[in-house]
Structures are given as structure tokens and as C-alpha cells.
Amino acid sequence: KSRFPHHSGVAGREPRCEASALMPRLAGENKYAQLSAVAAIPVVLYSVWRLLQDPAPTRGTKSRTQLHYGPADRRRRKSVDGDDFPPPYPNGWYFLCASKDIGVGCLRSFFITGRELVAFRNAEGEVGVVSAFCAHQGVHIGHGGFVDGDGVRCPYHHWKFGTDGKLQHIPQLEDGGARDCDRDRNHLKSFPVTEDSGLIFCWVHADGEDPLAPALSASFLRPIKDAKLSWAASLRMEDFHMHVMEPSHNTVDWYHFKTVHHLLAAHWLNKLAPLYATYETQQARAMIYGSKNDNGSPVTDPQLLVFDQRATHLEIPVVGQFLMLLLMVPVAPFRTEMQLQAYSENWWARPVAHILLWALRATLTQDREIWENKIMHKTRNSIKGDWSWTMYDKWLRQFYSPSSLTWSDDLSW
């Protein structure tokens, strides 16, 4: 029905709209709306920037930045009031780099678990990871060394080593040093390597034991192949000044999701966070080795990739499936490299994968302040509803062996 009814008493008159009388008022309203929209743009941009910067109210003399990275004059210690952290370097698989970062003939240096390593890909396409220092005079092969055929040569006297670390050739000797090549002391320590889903991992064990079953391709990386996903994006985060075992507490500690993570991608003290989350969690259940599934069957796959976590499969209508990996590598005591990898079902969905990685980064940042400023109690004060920390400690011990590196308060080895 028209907003303007027939005028009474005038036969046959058509309904009419007094448009001419409305135009000035509508024009004024549109102008006001346009000005309001323009003025709102900087306000919205500022709010988004503040949210991404994850502000928190100042507490005492500590700003948010200081809380994140810790006071400059305080150094993390392995022991506080009799409570000790476990050794800094668990046994297990460690992420090195993406496959594309080491092409044929490429040599790269790495520093992980307090060790200097070099990784290279020989002419046959095989990847080798060996100790960085030449067995001859201790020269770092990663500085000036080069790949030669099926091995790598030291830059100083051109000793050649294979992917297994064994000495293959000494050029200054007429027979190539056949006798010296048989001596164990002339070989380099090698580390088992696995390459799958575009990623390269090496196995580090304090006592030199072989990798445990199942293989990464059948456990940690299996969902990528099952869903036929391909690499989509990666993100290198800032190093976290924490023990690498900290995130594994998520398998036991269910309640902190309701406190630390109740604001999506924002600090819990953030006043501008617009998104809230409600988590439905199950008490006294943890998917770690030694626990049980809902049907009572034991969890038999330990997925021994240190404490790396696999994000839950995400499926977005039309866009497809995604899977994200959190890869943590301890390079020194209380210093852990954080790398994120994303896989997608469709190649054209890579921009979405980048967004998901930034969202995961924001979620991890929520925990960072806590992880970097806590100790590890030997005896935890558990309450009703807490999962068994005794079972967690038992699970944790499987990553260490008699020769695992230990450390003192001043971090000297």
C-alpha cells in the first residue's frame, strides 16, 4: 500500500507521492550517512590495528611488550625453589625445512637442540644431515663447503663425506685415502632423515637409537595424504622463550581454554576484542600415549614428533578442507623456534590458508606470556576434575634417555 492514500471527496483521483517535498529531507539524510561512513573508516581501521597488536592494560610497571618477552635482566632458569624443568632436548623427530629449500646441490647449515648440523641434497636427490664440523681439523662444512656428486666436501682440505656421514675421499692422497676412509674416527655423525609432504625432518636421539615406529608418513603426516591435501602456506613465528614441552600441557589442561582462550585471537585483558568463544571440553580425557579412547581402546600411536601438535581438520563449504601443523624446534634451552604449515584441498584456496595460519598464530600468542614466565612443579596441587598429571609425567619420560643432555642453573653444559 502507498504511504500516501487517496484524498477523500475527489472522485477518480490517482494516488500520488509527494516526492518533491521529501527530496530535501532524504538528501540531508544521505549526506549525513555518507559523512558518518567516512568518519567511521579510521575508527574501524584503528580498532582492527589495536586488535591485531593484541593490547592489554598496563599492570604495574610492565607493559604488554615486556610481559611478552620477559624483563631483559631476568634469565630463565631450569630450577626455581627446588622445582626442575625436564632436559631441554627430547629425543624425536625435528623439523628442518621445506623440501624446496634444499634443491639438488644445495648445502644449508642448521642449529637445533644445541647442535651444529649441515643438510645437503646430492646429485642423486638424496638428503643427508650430518655434524657440521669436519673430522679432520674441525672446520665448519656449512661455511664454504660444497656438494660434489653423491657427497659433500669440506672447504679446507676437500675431504668428501656421504649422506651417511662416512668419509669417501681424501684428495691429497694418491689412493684417495682408502685406508683412512675405513677409520670410524674420520666419519661424521649422521642423523636419520625423512622427507614427506614437502617437509624434511631429522631424527635426534641422545643415545643414537633408531627412529621409533610408526613412521611419520603413517602417523603425524598421514591425514595429509588421506585427504589428498597439498602444501598451501607457511608462517615463521618469533622464537618463544619457553621449554618445548609447554604446549603439550594442552592435552591435560582443559580448563584454560575457558580462561586464556575465551577471546578469539586476543589477549584475555583486551577491552576491544569483539569475538568470544565457548568451549565444550571433556574432563579427564587426553589423547596422549597411554590414555584410552572413548570406547575404552588404548591410544597406541605415540606420534613421536617431540611435542608438535596437529591442528584439527577444518572444512569450509565450497572452499574445501584444510590442515595446519605446528612445528616446534628447541634450538637452545628456553628458546623454541615456532613454524606453522598449512595444507589445503584446492590450490586456489591458498589465500584462505594464509588467513588460517595468522589466526592460529594469534591463538598461540595468547599462551605465550604464560609459557615464557612459569616454572614446572614437581608435585602439582591437583583438584577435582584435573586430569592425571602422573600419567602425563609418565608419557613425558619416554622422550628422554640416560644420555639426554642435562643442564644447570647458569645454562652451562
- Which range, of 12-16, 157-161, 181-185, 236-240, averages the lowest pLDDT? 12-16
DSSP-assigned states of every residue in 278-331: -----TT---STT-B-TTS-B------STT-EEPPPEEETTTEEEEEEEEEEEE
Give the side-chain half-sphere CA count within 13 A for 351.
1
pLDDT at 195: 94
Q: Residue type for 232, please?
A: A
359-388 in b/e form (b: 16+ CB < 10 A) is ebbbbbbbbbbebbeebbeeeeeeeeeebe
The string of pLDDT tens digits covering residues 370-391 is 999 888 887 777 777 677 777 7
Higher pLDDT: 182 or 376? It is: 182
pLDDT tens digits, one per residue of 256-269: 888 888 777 677 77
For residue 280, which amino acid is it? E
Task: Output the nine-digit C-alpha cell for 360.
Answer: 592460529
Angstrom distance (rounded) from CA 23 to CA 410: 79
pLDDT given at position 22: 37
Task: Characterize the bridge pairing of strands 335-344 and 320-332.
Answer: antiparallel
pTM over 0.85: no
What would the grid cell of residue 151 be?
657427497
Binning pLDDT at 50, 70 and 90, where does residue 110 land?
A: very high
pLDDT at 233 over 70: yes
Task: Tell me the C-alpha to C-alpha distance, in Å, between residue 185 and each of 169, 182, 203, 392.
Answer: 14, 9, 22, 40
- Ramachandran quadrant class, 288 (left: phi over 0; alpha: psi -120 to 50; beta: rest): beta
Highest mean pLDDT out of 68-72, 75-79, 303-307:
75-79
| Rounded mean pLDDT, 33-43 | 65
Q: Which bin fits 312, alpha (ψ -120 to 50), beta or left (φ > 0)?
A: beta
Instruction: Quote the CA–CA distance of 64 and 159 in Å, as a whole number.
Output: 52
Residue closest to 329 by CA, chosen among 318, 321, 340: 340
For residue 298, give every residue at least 6 positions away whose Cβ sits within 8 Å of its Cβ, in sequence order, or none.
Answer: 290, 291, 292
CA distances (Å), 169 to each of 105, 120, 149, 157, 160, in order? 18, 17, 12, 11, 5
> Average of pLDDT values for 320-333?
91
Q: Which residues contact 245 (CB under 8 A, 6 or more apart)?
A: 85, 86, 90, 307, 396
> What's the rounded mean pLDDT across residues 72-93?
71
Q: What is the mean pLDDT of the chain?
A: 76
Q: How many CA atoms lie within 13 A of 324 on its CB side?
A: 24
| Straight-line distance from the first to the last Cα atom of the chain, in angstroms, rounded to the nearest whole number | 87
